[in-house]
Amino acid sequence: MKTVKIGGTNWTSSNVALGIMRMGTLAVADCARAIEAAHAAGINFFDSADIYGNDPVLGRGSSEIHFGQALKQTGLSRDDFYFQSKAGLYANADNKITRYDSSRDHLLKAVDGILQRTGVEYLDSLVIHRPDALMDPAEVAVAFDKLQASGKVRHFGVSNFNPAQVALLQSALSQRLLVDQVQFGLKHTGMIDYDFHTNMTDDGSINHDGGLLDYCRLHQMTIQTWSPFQYGTFAGTFINNDRFPKLNDQLAQLATKYQVSKNAIALAWILRHPARMQVLIGTMNPTHIADSAAGSDITLTRQEWYDLYLAAGNELP
């Protein structure tokens, strides 16, 4: 398993992380097996959010409850892993988002809830889950200072923020924002499509995110990629999907060459980019965790990377 320095600091982690969103519906024993499989594959970074899981009995945040219980079964110590969680979303009983909240009181309360549910002593990183139109950077700064001074949170980041939003928040903080967590993968390539279509007038030339990729590289922010095997946002996986025959044929050829799974090749495609991203995988299947994580050690050739990009339905001008 290769590593990445988070946010250009000396904080070094596996460049593949396991997201625990789906733990809320699993038996604790199955969660423990997923954690153990990740650890065996070299993954030492777990990503969560206080909104993950809505068990009928445990309520909202059940993924973190199960994660904490499963950790005890694994016997892993706190020094064996990094733990990151996100805060700032509200959802109703039907899982429909009803508001974003980056207020001081909410962030402080959210962290206390995360620590209580998981049973961990501190967060290695707290991430604001979505841009909040009512966000007051000065208020967020007070919350971050309190959380860091208390030892509850060591580092901070954002998710789904564009460059202007990052810069606005960063202007008020005493801490550096180390990560921006966004969707990226072979069927969600907007961050790089724009680069190829500079000074053109086709759809690919539309700048949807304010040049996020270049901004993060210039400011040494680690891009954490969520849903790397999904098409659309949550439409489904493109792996072994009959809707994407060319992409799957290309993935299969390279999987055979490197003697790994298609998932590993799709993951290796992300990590081949020089931005030194960190890929968040969300499967709870121990075999799939190991299969996907194997992509960390594969370095695709330049032509293989571009062949996959084209097979995914993209064009080069």
- Other Cβ atoms less than 10 A from the Cβ of 305: the count is 16
Task: For residue 37, give the H/E element and its range.
Answer: helix 28-40
Cα gap 3→194, rounded to integer Å: 28
Residues linked to residue 294 through DSSP beta bridges, in sequence order = none
* Token pair listed for 308: 């996959």
Q: Catalytic residue among 52, 82, 215, 231, which?
A: 52
Question: Residues near 239 by Cβ (< 8 Å), separated by ≥ 6?
Answer: 229, 248, 251, 262, 263, 266
Helix, strand, coil percent content, the chain, rounded in steps of 5: 45, 20, 35
Is residue 100 flagged as an active site residue? Answer: no
Going from the C-alpha of 49 to that of each of 39, 67, 125, 138, 158, the distances in angstroms are 20, 12, 11, 23, 12
Q: Are 227 and 185 in contact (CB under 8 A)?
A: yes
**Residue 9 DSSP SS3:** coil
Residues 6+ apart with CB under 8 A from 71: 32, 35, 118, 119, 120
Residue type at 132 in one-letter notation: D
Cite the active site residues. 52
